[in-house]
Amino acid sequence: MNTAKTLLTASAFALIAGVAHAEKIRVAGNFASEHSSSLAMAKFEEELERLSGGEIDVDIFPAQQLGGAAENVQAVKVGAIELMWVGTAYLTRTVPELEVVGLPFQFPDRETAFEIVDGPVGVALDEKMADAGMTSMGYMELGFRQLTNNARPIETLADIEGLKIRLQPNETHLATFRALGANPVAMDVKELYSALEQGVIDGQENPFAIINVAGYAEVQKYVSNTGHFFDFISVVGNKKWFDGLDADTQAMVEEAMATAVEYQRDLAAEQDAAGLALLEEKGMTYTPVSAELAADLRATTAGIAAETKARLDPELVKLLDAESAKLGM
């Protein structure tokens, strides 16, 4: 075999070997394609493919393409997919300690919320997720959750009583709405639109941006700025998969995800600010929460935080309280 042919053959085998060993990452989410988190995952794909010189192939599946939120959690846990981005509440039945950052009226603003999850509390929660076989890759913003319904404007506590409200499968969230006199129902997001459309439930609660991009204005009449929880989106990988990557690949994945998370937080704030006006343009009736109602909401749910903390790891609760005190919460 001549030298030129030998070199050509060797190059061909090297190319085939490179393709065969190229890393492929599937990333699933249940948020609409135009939501800030889905756009951020597209940014992750772009960044990781750039950092790896195209050696890492990322496939993004938003808008429930690989199932609902609960299905995505199970798929990552068993390693059927590598990564997901999901409302943190959907992880609380696997890692109950995550409820410590989902307490009613816990954070005064988004900046304080991120101070907590980006600090020692977030590190402790990441360790709890690792124990459950998942690698935490960062926290994006879902935002302050607002109440919508088809029965009546929310002007007093009495207006919430008896409403059948869909919530995420989070025990603290469900207990909060029971305390308010509502009839909360845990339901996967993939079932929500049709349940509202058919009148199976009266309402739901989500940040303004989600209410807008999910089309809930088409099937809901009333919206209020209750802001009862600040919610996060967790980016989570299968731990066995991530630990099996070489150090350089891990570093590239982490760098690309950090870029995506920062991008999402900025974009989420913009989408949230614009969300309410868009809902009103689409015909929803907005009833702002008065100072009196806000005080009633807080007073009525004040015991829920203590109940939640009582059933969680005492050391984690102590850490949360210490970090909250530093921030003047």
Q: Residue 184: which residues within 8 A CB-CB, separation 6 or more? A: 165, 166, 167, 173, 174, 177, 178
10 Å Cβ neighbour count for 45? 19
pLDDT per residue as tens digits for the range 248-297: 999 999 999 999 999 999 999 999 999 999 999 999 999 999 999 999 99
Residue 117 clears pLDDT 60, i.e. is over it = yes
Average pLDDT over residues 225-242: 98
For residue 103, list its beta bridge partners. none
10 Å Cβ neighbour count for 31? 27
Domains of the chain: 8-326 (3.40.190.170)
Q: Which residue has the tokens 């750039």?
A: 50
Give CA separation, 326 vs 73, 112, 240, 264, in Å.
33, 11, 36, 26
Residue 169 DSSP SS3: coil
Residue 17 clears pLDDT 80, i.e. is over it = no
* Global pTM value: 0.90
Average pLDDT over residues 114-124: 98
Q: What pLDDT is recorded for position 12?
A: 35
Q: What pLDDT is recorded for position 23?
A: 87
Where is 135: in which H helix or E strand?
strand 134-144
Work out the pLDDT band at 22, boundaries 50, 70, 90. Answer: low
Average pLDDT over residues 198-223: 97
Position 212, amino acid: N
Q: What pLDDT is recorded for position 2?
A: 45
Maximum distance among all Cα pairs of the chain, rounded to whole angstroms = 89
